[in-house]
Amino acid sequence: MELYLDMLQQLQSEGRAHVTSSEIGAVTGVSPEKVRQDLFRLGSEGKPKVGYEVAQLTALIRSAFDLDSPKKACIVGLGNLGRALAASAIWSGAGFTLAAAFDRDPSVIGTEVAGIRVRSVAEIFGVVKAEGIVVGVIAVPAAAAQETADLMVNAGIQAIWNFAPVKLRTPEHVVVENQSLAWGLITLSHAMKSQIR
């Protein structure tokens, strides 16, 4: 679905009004049948020969993924990865604003990253409440990940995007999306071995 969205947004920027399931399939590497199934489940049917309305379909996917409702996020851990995430262009495309950044290193606290002043993690409780921050990004070392998650949960964070290779213990109402780079590399290693066989 993310692939469809990329393609549709590309078409929209080119001013295209319609797209067929075959075209979507050709670009995304998904079979046209599967494309039609996916989009039907989402509530959209293409017209024969004409296809789907690009603008309508884009809006439908963005709505299904809730990408247009504004959501505030914070990052804890401003090492290389935290800085890369803070400076990246990914936030606004999914409706997020990066509203705060926290670290516990005194030499990092007070510096600016991507236009945001880094604060002490000790301030997280007050800042999350005051700013209405709902998402917390964990970009700290593995050993500090659980402690950081606990702080976030106590502060009222609803969802955690976790880059540490750690299975976090969190209450059921908190959404956790794991994106460990170490695991990505392990998966790649495994895929290479399978391919060579």
* Interface pick for a second copy out of 15, 48, 49, 80 (rule CB under 8 A): 80
Residue 106-145 contact track with a second copy, rule CB under 8 A, x = bound:
----------------------------xx----------
Q: From residue 2, how far is each of 24, 26, 31, 94, 124 by CA, in Å?
A: 12, 15, 15, 11, 32
Interaction between residue 90 and a second copy (CB under 8 A): yes
Q: How far apart are CA 167 and CA 186, in angstroms?
A: 16
Interaction between residue 26 and a second copy (CB under 8 A): no
Stretch of 17-25, 34-42, 123-131, 158-166 contacting a second copy, by CB under 8 A: 158-166
How many angstroms from the chain centroid is the CA of residue 174?
Answer: 16
Q: From residue 18, how far is each of 15, 32, 33, 37, 58 by CA, in Å?
A: 10, 15, 18, 18, 11
Interaction between residue 31 and a second copy (CB under 8 A): no
Interaction between residue 187 and a second copy (CB under 8 A): yes
Residue 43-72 contact track with a second copy, rule CB under 8 A, x = bound:
---------------------xxxx---x-
Residue 27 corresponds to which tokens in the numbers above?
Answer: 């670009």
Helix or strand holding residue 126 (H, E): helix 124-131
Stretch of 35-43, 48-56, 89-97, 144-152 contacting a second copy, by CB under 8 A: 89-97
Q: How far apart are CA 18 and CA 137, in angstroms?
A: 37
Residue 182 corresponds to which tokens in the numbers above?
Answer: 């170490």
Q: How far is the CB of 153 from a second copy (least distance, A)?
A: 14
Q: Of the candidates 156, 140, 68, which has an alpha carbon nearest to the alpha carbon of residue 148?
A: 140
Helix or strand holding residue 117 (H, E): strand 116-120
* Interface pick for a second copy out of 17, 122, 130, 186 (rule CB under 8 A): 186
Interaction between residue 171 and a second copy (CB under 8 A): no
Provide the binding-site residues for a second copy, judged by CB under 8 A. 2-3, 5-6, 27-29, 64-67, 71, 79-81, 83-85, 87-88, 90-91, 93-96, 134-135, 158-159, 161, 165-167, 173, 175, 177, 179-193, 195
